[in-house]
Structure 1
Amino acid sequence: MSYEFNVLGTAEVRRDGVPVEVGHARQLSVLAVLLVDVNQVVSVDKLLARVWGEAPPRQAKSALYSYMSRLRTALDGLPIVRRSGGYVLEADPESIDLHRFRSLTARGEHGEAVALVRGVPFEGLHGEWFDSLRETLAGEITAAELDHTDSRLAAGEHRALVAELTARTNERPLDERLAGQLMRALIGADRRPDALAYYSRLKHRLADELGLDPGPALRDLHASLTQRPQWSAHQLSPAPQGFTGREAELAALEDGPIVTITGPAGTGKTWLALHWAHAHAADYPDGQLFVDLNGSDPADVVRAFITALGTAPDGIPPEPHAQTALYRTLLADRRMLIVLDNAADTAQVVPLLPGTPRCRVIVTSRERLPGLVTAHGARPVVL
C-alpha cells in the first residue's frame, strides 16, 4: 500500500493511485500541517495556531483530537503518532510533492521540480499560516522556473521559449532576470530587432515606474547587440611552423559544426587543429576562442569566454546554468571558431558547445569522445 500526498495545487491524498477522502477543509488543514513537517513532532499549540489562527476557539483542542482520530482511520496503515506535546506523521518525504520538489531543486533538477506544480499550493486551505506558506512557495517555484529556463536556453531551445517567456514577462514585467531570458531567447531565434525593441520598452518602464535603469546584466546583453565590434576575440595560439601533409585529415575537418581530433599523445592533434584554424580564420569574422582544457573546470572556461566576448564582471550571472546560457546567447548570431584542446572527456566539452551551427568547434583529445559523436553529431577524425 503506497500513499501519495499532493499539496502543490489542490491538496489531495492518493492511495495506490486512488483518491482518498480525508474529510472537510479543516481536517485536511491538520493533515497538511503534519505533511509540511513530516517525521517531526508538531506540538498541539502549533497545530492549533496554524489551523485555527493565533486565537483558536475554546473547542478547537477537542476538535483537533477528533480530527486526528478520523485521519488515522482514513490513512489506514500510515501512522500518525502521539508524542509528548504533539503529533508526528511518519511517512517517506518523497511521497509528498512539496518535499520532492525541494529535493529536486536542491539537486539542480529544476524541470522535474516545476513539473510537480499543479496550481496554487495548498489551494482551498485558508488562514494566515497557509497564506504565508503559499507566498514562500511562490518564490521557490519562480526561482525553479527561472533556473529551468536557463537550462533550456543553454540547451539551445530559444525558439520554443519565445512565446512562453513573452507570456511570463507580461505577468511579471519588471523582473529583470526574466527579461534577460526573453532577450536571449529572441536573439537565439534570430530576432535581434525584437530583442532591442523589448529592451527599449523595458528601460522606459523601469524608469517610469521605479525610477531605475536596467541592471548590469541587461545592459551588457544590450551592448552585445549594439556594440558588436567590441565582442570579437582572437585567441588562437600561433600557427605551427613547418606543418606538412595530413591532407585527408584537413579535408575531414571541413565537415560539420563539431569535429573531434583524437589519438595518442604526440600524434600532432593540436598542430592539426591550429593549422586548420589559422588557414580558415577569415571564414569566422567574429573571432576565434581557444583554450587548453588540460585539468580545467568547464565552468571556469565559460566565464573566461564570456569575459573574452566583452562582458563586464558584474554582468556575469552567478549561476553556472545562467553563465552557459549567456555564453550561447553571445554566440547565437555570430560566426566564430572555437578550439577546445586536450579535452579529458565529453562532460568537460558539452558546456562549451555553442547552441548554433554558425560556429565551428574543433575538439582535441586522447580519448575517442563517443558522447560528442552520438549525442551532438561530432565528426570524428582519428590520428
Structure 2
Amino acid sequence: MNPPPEFRLLGPPEVRRGTALVDVGHARQLSVLAALLVDVNQVVSVEKVLSRVWGEAPPRQAKAALYSYVSRLRSALDGVPIVRRSGGYVLEADPATIDLHRFRSLVAAGQPGDAMALVRGEPFEGLHGPWFSGLRETLAGEITAAELDHIDSRLAAGEHRSLVAELTTRTTERPLDERLAGQLMRALIGADQRSDALTCYSQLRHRLADELGLDPGPALRDLHASLAQRPQWSPRRLPARPAGFTGMEVQLAALDLDGPIVTITGPAGTGKTWLALHWAHEHAAGYPDGQLFVDLNGSDPADVVRAFITALGTGPDGIPPEPHAQTALYRTLLADRRMLIVLDNAADTAQVVPLLPGTPRCRVVVTSRERLPGLVTAHGARPVVL
C-alpha cells in the first residue's frame, strides 16, 4: 500500500510520496492543486478556483481547462479524493499532510521552532497571479511572527550569545521593528554587553523619532529602564530568618559548595525551608542585586514569573502577554545581576524550570519533598537530601 502523499507549499510547491517526488504536472495544474489545498476538506467553488488560478477575468477556455486539470490531478494523486460537490471541488486529505496547515497548527500550539523547520523558501514559489501574491504576503507575516516567537523561546533557554550576530543582522534589515530591537537588547544583556544594548536602544529611539515621529513603546522603555536604573531594583524578598535554628552543619557545608542550583529534598517536617532560609540569610550579602523568594505550593509558574518581573522593577505595561516572552524578559532582567532565588516547596521539576535564570551568576535554592531528578540531570543541580 502506498504511503499517503505529503503536500509542500512553504517553498516551491511539490508533492512527495515517501522519498519519491510525484509528478503533478505543469505550473497551472499545480496552481489548481494549491488552490484546493489551502482550503483542504472545504468546498472551493469553481468560480473561486478560476479566479485564484487565472485571475479576476479568466479566459473563456479556463473552465474546460480546469476540468481537465482536476482529472489529471486525480490520476496523479492516486487515492487522494478530489470530489465535485455543491458547485465546486473538495480535496479530502489529512491537514497534517499539508505543510501550510501543519505550520499554523504548530504555531497555535506554541511550537514556533518546529513550525519554522517546515519553511523551505518563499511560499508558493513559481505560482503567479494576484491571489498567490496576496497569500505570500500574508504568510510572510505569519512566518516572521513565528521566527520572533522562536527567538523568544531561544532567549528563554539562555541562548543569548549565539543569537547576538543573527539578531544584529535582522535589525539591520528591519531597523524600525521594536520587537526585534528588544530581542537584540535582551541577547546583548545576556551576553554581558550592556553598553551595546543601551546603544541599540538609543539608535532605535532616534530612528523612530526621525522617520516616524514616535517614541519607543512601553516594553522597550521598561527594558531600557532596567538597564539604566538597575540599582533602584534590588528586591529583598526573603522571609524572616528562622529563630533558634541549630545543627545541620553538614547540610550547610554542602550548600556552601559552588554551583548555580541546589535542591534540598526530604519528607515533610525535616526542616527543608528552615535550612534554606537560614543559609540564605547568612549569605544574602554575597548577592548584592537582591533576593527573591516564593512558596510554590500550588502555584502556576507563569504567575510567579510575572510576580518576579514586577519585583525586578518592570511596570505592568512592560510585561509582554505571551508566557514564553515573560520568561525571556525575566531571564533578561537577571542576566547581569547576582541574585539569590529561593523556590520553596516545589512539586516537580516542571514547576521550577521556568523560574531558572539563564545565568550562573545567580544562585537558586529549591526545596521539595520530591528528589527532582530532572533538575539534577538536565540542569546540573546539586542535591542535598534530608
Give the TM bin, normalised by the shorter chain: over 0.9
Which range moved further: 81-90 or 98-107?
A: 81-90
**Which residue of 2 is the match for residue 39 of structure 1?**
41
**Which residue of 1 is the match for residue 91 of structure 2?**
89
**Which residue of 2 is the match for residue 168 of structure 1?**
170
Pick the aligned partner of 2:347 from 340, 344, 349: 344
* Deviation (angstroms), 1:40: 1.3
* Deviation (angstroms), 1:343: 0.7
Pick the aligned partner of 1:220 from 213, 219, 222: 222
Pick the aligned partner of 1:51 from 43, 50, 53: 53
Distance, in Å, in 2 between the alignment partners of 1:113 and 1:353 is 26
CA displacement 1:149-205 (0-9 Å, x = unmatched): 111000000011111111111121111111100000011011111111111111100
Contact 1:343 1:363 in 2 (8 A): yes
Pick the aligned partner of 2:284 from 276, 281, 290: 281
Pick the aligned partner of 1:76 from 75, 78, 90: 78
* Deviation (angstroms), 1:25: 1.3
* Deviation (angstroms), 1:132: 1.3
- Structure 1 regions of 5+ residues with no counterpart? none
* Deviation (angstroms), 1:245: 0.7
**Which residue of 2 is the match for residue 194 of structure 1?**
196
* Deviation (angstroms), 1:98: 0.3
**Which residue of 1 is the match for residue 383 of structure 2?**
380
Give the counterpart letter for 2:363 in structure 1.
R
* Deviation (angstroms), 1:278: 0.3
CA displacement 1:257-276 (0-9 Å, x = unmatched): 10111111111111000000
- SS where residue 263 of structure 2 aligns? strand
- Structure 2 regions of 5+ residues with no counterpart? none
**Which residue of 1 is the match for residue 24 of structure 2?**
22
* Deviation (angstroms), 1:56: 1.3
- SS where residue 259 of structure 1 aligns? strand
* Deviation (angstroms), 1:243: 0.6
Any residues of structure 2 matched to 1:242-253 within 5 Å, and which? 242-253=244-255
Pick the aligned partner of 1:230 from 229, 232, 235: 232
Distance, in Å, in 1 between the alignment partners of 2:241 and 2:213 is 52
**Which residue of 1 is the match for residue 299 of structure 2?**
296
- SS where residue 314 of structure 1 aligns? helix
* Deviation (angstroms), 1:42: 1.1
CA displacement 1:112-171 (0-9 Å, x = unmatched): 001111111111111111111111111111111111111100000001111111111112
- 2:378 maps to 1:362: no
- SS where residue 330 of structure 1 aligns? helix
Distance, in Å, in 2 between the alignment partners of 1:168 and 1:121 is 20
> What's the TM-score once normalised by structure 2's chain length?
0.98
- 2:326 maps to 1:334: no
Give the counterpart letter for 2:295 in structure 1.
D
Contact 1:186 1:195 in 2 (8 A): yes
Pick the aligned partner of 2:132 from 130, 133, 137: 130
Contact 1:4 1:17 in 2 (8 A): no
Distance, in Å, in 1 between the alignment partners of 2:320 and 2:298 is 24
- SS where residue 344 of structure 2 aligns? strand
CA displacement 1:243-294 (0-9 Å, x = unmatched): 1110000011123110111111111111000000000000000000001111
Give the counterpart letter for 1:322 in structure 2.
A
- 2:314 maps to 1:311: yes
Give the counterpart letter for 1:260 in structure 2.
T
Distance, in Å, in 2 between the alignment partners of 1:356 and 1:229 is 18
* Deviation (angstroms), 1:87: 1.0
Distance, in Å, in 1 between the alignment partners of 2:21 and 2:319 is 47
* Deviation (angstroms), 1:77: 2.3
* Deviation (angstroms), 1:327: 0.3
Which range moved further: 233-242 or 167-176?
A: 167-176
CA displacement 1:310-360 (0-9 Å, x = unmatched): 001100000000000000000001000000011111111000000000000
Distance, in Å, in 2 between the alignment partners of 1:336 and 1:299 is 20
Give the counterpart letter for 1:4 in structure 2.
E
Pick the aligned partner of 2:8 from 3, 6, 9: 6
Q: How many residues align?
A: 383
Distance, in Å, in 1 between the alignment partners of 2:276 and 2:266 is 13
Pick the aligned partner of 1:151 from 142, 150, 153: 153
Which range moved further: 364-373 or 274-283?
A: 364-373
Distance, in Å, in 2 between the alignment partners of 1:112 and 1:37 is 22
CA displacement 1:6-52 (0-9 Å, x = unmatched): 11011111122111221221111100011111111211111111111
Give the counterpart letter for 2:174 in structure 1.
R
* Deviation (angstroms), 1:84: 2.7
> What's the TM-score once normalised by structure 1's chain length?
0.98
- SS where residue 359 of structure 2 aligns? coil
Percent identity between matched residues is: 85
* Deviation (angstroms), 1:4: 1.2
**Which residue of 2 is the match for residue 207 of structure 1?**
209
- SS where residue 166 of structure 2 aligns? helix
